[in-house]
Chain A
Amino acid sequence: MGNKRKKANRLLCLFLAALLAVGFIQQLPSGKGGSTVTAKAEAKESGDTFTVGFDASFPPYGYQDENGEYVGFDLDLAQEVCDRNGWKLVKQPIDWDSKDMELNSGNIDCIWNGFTMNGRENDYTWSTPYVDNSQVVVVPEDSDIQSLSDLEGKIVIVQNDSSALAAFTGDDATEENKELADSFKDLQQVADYNTAFMNMDSGMAEAVCMDIGVAQYQLAQRQGKYRMLDEQVSSEQYGIGFKKGNYELRDQVQKTLNEMEEDGTFDQIAEKWGLTDSVCLADTMTMDFADEKAASSADASSDSTASGAAIAAKGNSGSFGQRCLSICGQLGKGLLATLAIFFLTLLFSLPLGLLVTFVRRSRFKVLQWIARIFISILRGTPLMLQLLVVFYGPAILFGATLSYKWRFIAVIIGFSINYAAYFAEIFRSGIDNVPAGQTEAAQVLGLSRGQTFRHIIFPQMVKRVMPPVTNEVITLVKDTSLAYAIAYTEMFTIAQRIVARDANLMPLFVAGLFYYIFNALVAAVMARLEKKLSYFE
């Protein structure tokens, strides 16, 4: 999944959240959750575009191949459906956490991406299930884990908001699976499966739980380095999710799919992607649609399909104030992590920046160049990339086995060196702007180089750099959310997970408010400092 995209998406989310806040809050459903604005009839005609939203890091269903093309089983199916209807297919990769926003805003026509129906029956208008999928556990080939019970005391990884996660901790998780999850040392969430395998490679986790189709694909890709446990965690089904109420389009797609099943095209495509054992359209094409079943049983007290609504409703229950409080409480845990990143980064990056400035201004050409290259790389590449390098680098380059704490340490190191580079350039220009006469006067008065810097240059530099440093500090407040890149759970990550769980934008708005207040405080403190330094000109 493209990291830059992700950042852009998150900013977009924040922006949208702020924009929609007022109208949206009034419109919050008071009773049952998930009943977002109902789509009008949106049947397509020949020549129309058909936009499929998918997570580009979910092979074999949808992913980016070596040539940068988006390919996969689901995308092949979508292409065939489009060809038969005369539609133009647009493959739109999305940030999985933002899928509902994408769908409800009309950016995409459907989510077609190994999309688990179980537990979400009520949130979308579904096709019939076309893949029967199970959750399995993958471990390194040489691992001593043989059965699910061997996972006790181990660190297990799942993808954010994945079926595997739901199977362990979701409301409709079986007691068995919940107990199993409790026996783990830790159940960690990562953004994608690549990250999951890297974590396993570096010894930070012992097992990864994922969909069987994904597991088969990953095992084939990683030739013999891993194996799958025979015992399965759970089984579930994939469907195509349309905006709730968009029956016209769903029916068009379903009809075409059924035709493809009847003439064998569907099975051909399944075979191409090695999914012959998983597909189940032949058995389900005549079934009732899941959402209609759910609707008809919505009033019935205990139906398994109502659990999706129950999950969604949980986030939306209670009064507006209670909901706000509950979200604040959940975000509060992340806020501590955000504060830790912020203060530790400042604590380390400011002195480190000064050190880099010294090296940059050293008399030795070699040192000058080292500092220049350091600054240019750190300012010239995305912070997110730097975080990934710091986090995975030691394991990949030196085969180091890293402790559980490394994730947090890597965040602090990554942020500190990145900000040090920016501070170094700010300090350097601050020093250059102190008039040469100051140094000369100090020199004639017999001050050493060190004394000149400490007593004459440094105090004047500090005053000069206050405005640009303030800018950086404010940026840092917002940048803390990038710790998400290496799945370090800070406030924004939590906000997005709540959004994904509750299908409701309010957490983003609350998080935005937290950042805003945080920054207002930062700005006030910096203004005070500047005022304190205004005793001289």
Chain B
Amino acid sequence: MSDMLFKASHLKKSFGETEVLKDITVEVAQGEVVSILGPSGSGKSTFLRCATLLETMDGGSLEYEGKYAVRDEGGKAVYASGDELRKIRQSFGLVFQNFNLFPHYTALKNIMLSPVLTQKRNEEEVRKEAMVLLEKVGLSDKADAYPGQLSGGQKQRVAIARALAMNPKIIFFDEPTSALDPELTAGILRVLKDLAKEKMTMVIVTHEIQFAHDISDRVVFMADGNIIEQGRPQDVIDHPANQRTRDFLNLLTE
């Protein structure tokens, strides 16, 4: 048992013959903000999908708040029972690159749906909380808008509010801004910075180097299904030790 909020150890994942994640170990402490950088195809999304139980991993273990979601038994990944997984799902949230809002529900209903359905909370109470969240992401006037009537940036804010409404311990973000224009990107990054100030635990896959530098407690650099380098942003981003990290950063800043 560790005192870490989230711990993935020796995570392995293959799609058919291709080994996408070779040996990934990442720990995230309460209140920590971790950014994951790395070239396209290096397995960042696959890692998040394994961590959020959308994809089944082949080997390694996965823990949330000291509880095993996946155990490593002789090199094989063994999943916990459905009941236990259902409980564990309540402790994390995920924000998708392309939002995945429910198009047939209003912004407000998107946020309220799961707390009412899965946490069986009082609807009025949830509505009040959802309105507070919408205000927090700057969209109190769009409560009754359908996703089709919102801009990309607004959709992503609703998606963030939807994740927050579950009161998760940790939220994963998979390139939350890469589907957005630069002006909209700034707005989303501001929301994330506010969350960081409130000590929300976050794991963010991003290509925004400056943002990662500013917001992160720790930066993880991935390539070819391995973690090449990790540490404080001042070290990994400003003074990378590894040649691959340097090449990748140079490519981005060119």
Contact = CB atoms under 8 A, between A and B. Distances in A.
A446 B166 contact: yes
Given A451-B117, A536-B103, A443 B54 contact: yes
Interface residues of B, number: 26
A440 B54 contact: yes
Contacts, number: 62
Contacts of A365: none
B106 to A, nearest CB: 9
Interface in B152-166: 162, 166
B104 A437 contact: no
Contacts of A448: 86, 118
A456 B52 CA distance: 19
Interface string A435-460: 10110111111111001000110011
A455 B113 CA distance: 9
Interface string B65-104: 0000000000000000000001001101110101011111
B52 A444 contact: yes
A451 B118 contact: yes
B211 interface: no
Contacts of B119: 446
Interface string B30-62: 000000000000000000000011100000000
B103 A437 contact: no
A364 interface: no
B53 to A, nearest CB: 8
A440 B5 CA distance: 23
Nearest to A445: B114
B118 A460 contact: no
A289 B54 CA distance: 88
A536 B114 CA distance: 20
Contact of A444 (B86, B89, B103, B104): B89
B148 interface: yes
Nearest to B55: A440
Tell which of A437, A440, A444, A460 has the most Cβ of chain B within 10 Å: A444
A398 interface: no
Interface string B164-196: 001000000000000000000000000000000
B244 to A, nearest CB: 31
Nearest to A446: B118
Contacts of A459: 104
A447 B54 contact: no
Given A446-B166, A447-B114, A447-B117, A441 B103 contact: no
B146 A444 contact: no
B147 interface: yes
Interface of A: 435, 437-438, 440-448, 451, 455-456, 459-460, 463, 535-537
20 contacts: A435-B100, A437-B96, A437-B98, A437-B100, A440-B100, A441-B100, A441-B101, A442-B102, A443-B53, A444-B89, A444-B94, A446-B86, A446-B89, A447-B113, A448-B118, A456-B102, A460-B104, A536-B104, A536-B146, A537-B146
